[in-house]
Amino acid sequence: MQRLLAIILVISCLSHRMSAQTTQDAYWQLGVGAYFGGLGTLTELDVARFDWLYLCFGNIPADHGTTELLNRLLAINPDLKIVIRLWPNLGLGDNAENNYQATFLHYLYLPGVKEKLHQNIHDQIHVVLDPITKPENVVGMTFLEELPNHFSANPFRRGGDKLTWDLLRFRKEIEAERGKPLVWDSET
């Protein structure tokens, strides 16, 4: 858990790198951006016209082909900024309810998941930062999107006192850690 929090902290610090040089509300100074999961019907020139891209791994492959595309976009627009959405391989879970995707509870309690996620995150960062022509144009990174939904059964949006499938799956481990029965209440 501490390593995941450290990774998130580092990612947060990277995203604040640009804002420290400008004003408190630097987000708006980035200009016009695009949710970028590939060219689709756009041309490279169309995409390079944006001020920044939200590079959506999970929608676009985390491979050298994507980095080559980014380098072509940077050749057209050397000022293009990039925010990387890290989307590690979450197919490490064991719940059919979630298409066998790992949740934060798999990360915490299922042996091997933490290490595999860390390696996949590392690989996604370096597939961009190592071969990109302008690594200084990477101004931020995010872990997944719409958290906690993409890393849990999203129990925080549910009403009532029923436990979600991910909590039920790890009930034994959670109760052992907490030292008391798991119930969905304000303390939990």
For residue range 42-101, list pLDDT tens digits in order: 999 999 999 999 999 999 999 999 999 999 999 999 999 999 999 998 888 888 888 888
Q: Name the pLDDT band for 24 (thresholds 50, 70, 90).
A: low
Phi and psi, residue 185, nearest 5°: -140, -175
Mean pLDDT, the chain, as a whole number? 86
Residues 53 and 135 in one domain: yes
What's the length of the chain? 188
The residue ranking higher by pLDDT, 98 or 115, is: 115
pLDDT > 70: what percent of the chain?
82
Q: Which pTM does this prediction carry?
A: 0.78
**177 plus 96 within the same structural domain:** no
Same domain, yes or no: 44 and 60? yes
CA–CA gap between residue 187 and residue 53 (Å, rounded): 39
Cβ-in-10-Å burial (0-12, 13-18, 19+) of 181 comes to exposed
Cβ-based neighbour number of residue 182 at 10 Å: 17
Average pLDDT over residues 128-151: 92
Please, what is the Cα angle at 63 between 28 and 150, to 5 degrees? 60
How many domains does the chain divide into? Answer: 2
pLDDT greater at residue 110 or residue 14: 110
Residues 100 and 187 reside in one and the same domain: no
Residue 157: pLDDT band by 50, 70, 90 thresholds? low
* Judgement on whether residues 6 and 91 belong to the same structural domain of the protein: yes
Q: Report whether pLDDT(154) > 80.
A: no
Domain of residue 117, residue span = 2-152
